Each structure stands twice: as structure tokens, then as C-alpha cells.
């Protein structure tokens, strides 16, 4: 019998798939958790296993301190994910998660570990660009709450619950600090292809910001805009997941096959 492996608080498999050919690791947006990706396996090919990364400070890890540095978090994630890199994988991150996914890929390269077959970055400007939200370091809780309300993605009943927000605001502040304090260090472009996504109604990450990700890869780049605002991953989830599935399939196509297919209702930039 195989020895039982102790549960890993960082790794959430809503639908374990030991026979998958590829693992898709998903990183959350600021204030979000692994539950965001619970329904994704039903919309992706059967040979793709969705693994949501549960960061400290949220959901069942609420009492753990949250990270405030993309570099420190990425170094930790390398040690967490190393045991799961025994087969092809891809990374997806939305908003803050997109920046962390990028820095994680760089950290994997520096450590001489396998790199993702594909990097998906969503609702975040390219890393060379300044923080695309107002600085949170000097904001009061009330100002931060107003910012979160404008960005959308959080139900009104949650925003109006003082007890819940007392728990959530420190996490939101920590997560947004990851983005605000990120310092880009020039390196060689990543060899893996990058797909960058944005919402057509997002006032914080615009089309031009999405396009700046193209400078970070030598392996192929696609940028697409989806219906909705900053949280289009909810508004346009079926189209988004179809696009991810197609990009993963296209990347594995024979050399010379174009990566410019833009089906699924998304609009090319």
C-alpha cells in the first residue's frame, strides 16, 4: 500500500485527477482564495487537473499571516510546488495572482526547476509598469473599502458586514501591498508563452496595460479582452476557460501552427 500523504494546506484539488497530462496551478486575486477555482475542472479538458493554490490569510488559513512581498511568496511557492512538477504544468493568476505567477516563473527558472508550458496572467498590468491601483499604504480602512467596492467582485452583503470586513481588510491590504511594493528587475524574457487577459470595462487595467506583458516572453504572446470589468473571470467564465483550453492545446500543436486563433468570444487586442 502507498503511504498516505499528509494534507498540504497550500494545495486544493476540488477534483483530483491523477491521470492528468497537465496540472494547471491557479493563484488568487487580492482577498480571494482557492474556492474561486472550485468549478473550473468541469469546463476544462479531462486531461487537465486544476490545482488551486491556497495562500495564507484566507478561507481555512484565515488565522495565518498573509505575505506582503511577491518575491518572498514566490520563494515559498517554489518549495511548495516542487514536488508537483513531475509532469507538465501551467500557471494562471488573476490580478495580484497574475503578478505572483510571473514572479514564481522567474524564481523557478533561477532555481533550475521545470518551467510552465504556459503562463496565463489576468487583470494585471505588465510587471514593468507602475502599480495600476491607487497606493494602499496610506489609505484608511474606509478608503480601502471604497476602492474594493469600485473594483467589484465582492458581494454587497459582504461589504456591509462590519465583522467580516474587519477580518478581510487586513488581508486585502497585505495582498495589494504585494503589488504596490513590487520592484521589477530586468531579466531575459521567459521562454514559455504568455497569454494576457483583460476586461473591457476594467478602469484599472486597460488594453494598453494588458499588451505590456508581451515584452516578458520569447515564447509567443497573445492578449485578449473579455466582457466585464476587473472581475471578468466571473462575468465571462465559460469564454475565459474555453480560451485557456484552446491556448493549452495550441501550444502543444506541431511547430509552425499559428497561435493566433482567437475563438471563445474573446477579442484580440
Which one of the listed residues 95, 137, 258, 267 is annotated catalytic? 95
Largest CA distance in the chain: 56
Cα–Cα distance for residue pair 207/176, rounded to 1 Å = 21
Q: Note the Cα 146 to chain centre separation in Å.
A: 23
Of 199, 21, 200, 178, nearest to 102 (Cα)? 178
Active site residue 140: no
Q: Which pairing describes strands 48-53 and 118-122: parallel, antiparallel, or unpaired?
A: unpaired
DSSP codes of every residue in 158-217: HHT-HHHHHHHHHHHHHHHHHHHT------PPBSS-EEEEEETT-SSS-HHHHHGGGGGB
Cell of 197: 487577459
d(CA 237, CA 99): 20
Output 63-68 pairs: Cβ under 8 A, ≥24 positions apart: 66/170, 66/171, 66/174, 66/175, 67/174, 67/178, 68/174, 68/177, 68/178, 68/181
Judge contact between 118 and 192, C-beta under 8 A.
yes
Catalytic residues: 95
Amino acid at each position: 500500500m502507498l503511504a498516505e500523504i499528509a494534507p498540504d494546506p497550500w494545495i486544493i484539488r476540488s477534483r483530483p485527477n491523477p491521470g492528468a497530462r497537465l496540472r494547471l496551478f491557479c493563484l488568487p486575486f487580492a482577498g480571494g482564495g482557492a474556492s474561486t477555482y472550485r468549478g473550473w475542472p468541469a469546463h476544462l479538458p479531462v486531461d487537465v487537473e486544476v490545482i488551486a493554490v491556497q495562500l495564507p490569510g484566507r478561507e481555512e488559513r484565515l488565522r495565518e499571516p498573509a505575505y506582503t512581498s511577491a518575491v518572498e511568496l514566490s520563494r515559498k511557492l517554489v518549495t511548495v510546488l516542487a514536488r508537483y512538477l513531475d509532469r507538465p504544468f501551467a500557471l494562471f493568476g488573476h490580478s495580484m495572482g497574475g503578478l505572483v505567477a510571473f514572479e514564481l516563473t522567474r524564481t523557478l527558472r533561477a532555481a533550475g526547476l521545470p518551467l510552465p508550458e504556459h503562463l496565463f496572467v489576468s487583470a494585471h498590468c505588465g510587471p514593468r509598469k507602475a502599480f495600476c491601483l491607487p497606493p494602499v499604504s496610506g489609505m484608511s480602512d474606509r478608503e480601502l473599502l471604497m476602492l474594493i467596492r469600485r473594483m467589484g467582485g465582492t458581494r454587497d452583503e459582504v461589504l456591509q458586514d462590519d465583522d467580516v470586513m474587519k477580518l478581510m481588510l487586513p488581508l486585502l491590504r497585505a495582498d495589494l501591498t504585494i503589488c504596490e511594493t513590487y520592484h521589477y528587475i530586468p531579466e531575459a524574457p521567459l521562454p514559455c508563452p504568455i497569454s494576457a487577459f483583460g476586461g473591457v470595462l476594467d478602469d484599472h487595467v486597460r488594453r494598453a496595460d494588458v499588451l505590456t506583458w508581451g515584452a516578458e516572453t520569447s515564447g509567443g504572446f497573445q492578449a485578449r479582452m473579455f466582457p466585464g470589468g476587473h472581475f471578468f473571470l466571473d462575468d465571462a467564465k465559460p469564454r475565459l476557460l474555453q480560451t485557456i483550453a484552446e491556448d493549452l492545446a495550441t501550444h502543444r500543436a506541431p511547430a509552425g501552427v499559428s497561435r493566433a486563433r482567437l475563438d471563445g468570444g474573446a477579442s484580440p487586442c
